[in-house]
Structure 1
Amino acid sequence: MSREDPQLKIRLPLELKEKITESAAEYGRSINSEVVTRLEESFEKDDAAEFDKEFVLQVIQNQQATIQDLTDQIKHFKMSFDILTKELQEKKNRI
């Protein structure tokens, strides 16, 4: 950051300012650097959460396709079972 970067004047609760001041001292940063770092981290977390959401949606879509395939297989097996059951019944009736 340089002094040429845009400035932003904000109001915040005293308790929050104190937390920022303490954290800045703990990490050896200026208050400004602490605020900027924390804001950047929050956006990175948002980006990661969005990636996670997209990944989960992709997994769900894949699972839905798998479920549909299994449902189709079950229908096919049921049809085959019904045909075999009918044929067996017809053989029993001939005996």
Structure 2
Amino acid sequence: MSEPLFHQFKLRLPVNLFQRLEAQAGITNRSVSAEIITRLEESFEKPKVTLTSDQVRDLAGEFMSIFKMEVSKAEKLQADDLDSLFKKMEQRYLEEADVLASLTVAAEQEAYAIRSIEGHSARYETAQQKLRKLRWFQNQVQHRGQLLIEAGLQLSDLPDSDSDELEIRPTPKKKAKRHG
């Protein structure tokens, strides 16, 4: 046979204590027995930790030092990521410049060959237009590369993330060149 879930016994309580339990049981909408059981269970729970103001300050100080250390790590990772991104962008710029240079040379040779065979024909004019577009693209890529290099140089001039000397300066405005 299984053991019973409850043990029943008689309990003698002072009248005043019973009346207080009865009043509290009415407020919490429980029976007096349920109120007694609840209070007994709560008395066996671990005591709640209360901290002094000095302990709270110490914990807050520890938390802030850990927080600052984590922020510093994140800033370093971001700086490393940014450096890696600029290197990838620079590599892509160099590859684009090489491809455009090769295409421009091929277009120049094509235009020269057509002119030497046909003179100033419609095909020659088309080859010249293609050559002008390639040179325009070459200028655009070169300009973008210069901007990339300037941005990289400006980033390398920034103070370390540990420094509080970060100064935000407006970038000088340049006149836009019109192509076309």
Say whether the fold is shared (TM-score over 0.5): yes
Cross-structure match for 1:64: 86
| 3-state SS, counterpart of residue 51 of structure 2 | coil
Matching of residue 32 in structure 1 with residue 51 in structure 2: no
Superposed structure 1 runs of 4+ greater than 2 Å apart? none
Distance 2:78 2:55 in 1: 34
More helix by share: 1
- Over alpha carbons, which structure has the higher Rg? 2
**Counterpart for residue 50 of structure 1:** 72
The amino acid of 1:45's aligned partner reads F
Distance in 2 between residues matched to 1:29 and 1:66, nearest whole Å: 52
Alignment of 1:3-42 (within 5 A): 28-42=50-64
**Runs (5+) with no aligned partner, structure 2:** 1-48, 119-180
The TM-score, its normalising length taken from structure 1, stands at 0.67
Q: Which residue of 2 aligns with 1:91?
A: 113
Work out which structure has the larger RCO, using CA pairs closer than 8 Å and 6 or more positions apart in sequence: 2
Structure 1 gap ranges (5+):
1-26
| Structure 1 position 28, deviation (Å) | 2.6
Correspondence for 1:10: none
Give aligned-pair identity as a percent. 3
Structure 2 distance, partners of 1:57, 1:28, is 42
1: distance between equivalents of 2:55 and 2:74?
28
Write the distance in 2 (CA, Å) between the matches of 1:91 and 1:82: 14
Tell me the matched-pair count. 69
TM-score (norm 2): 0.37
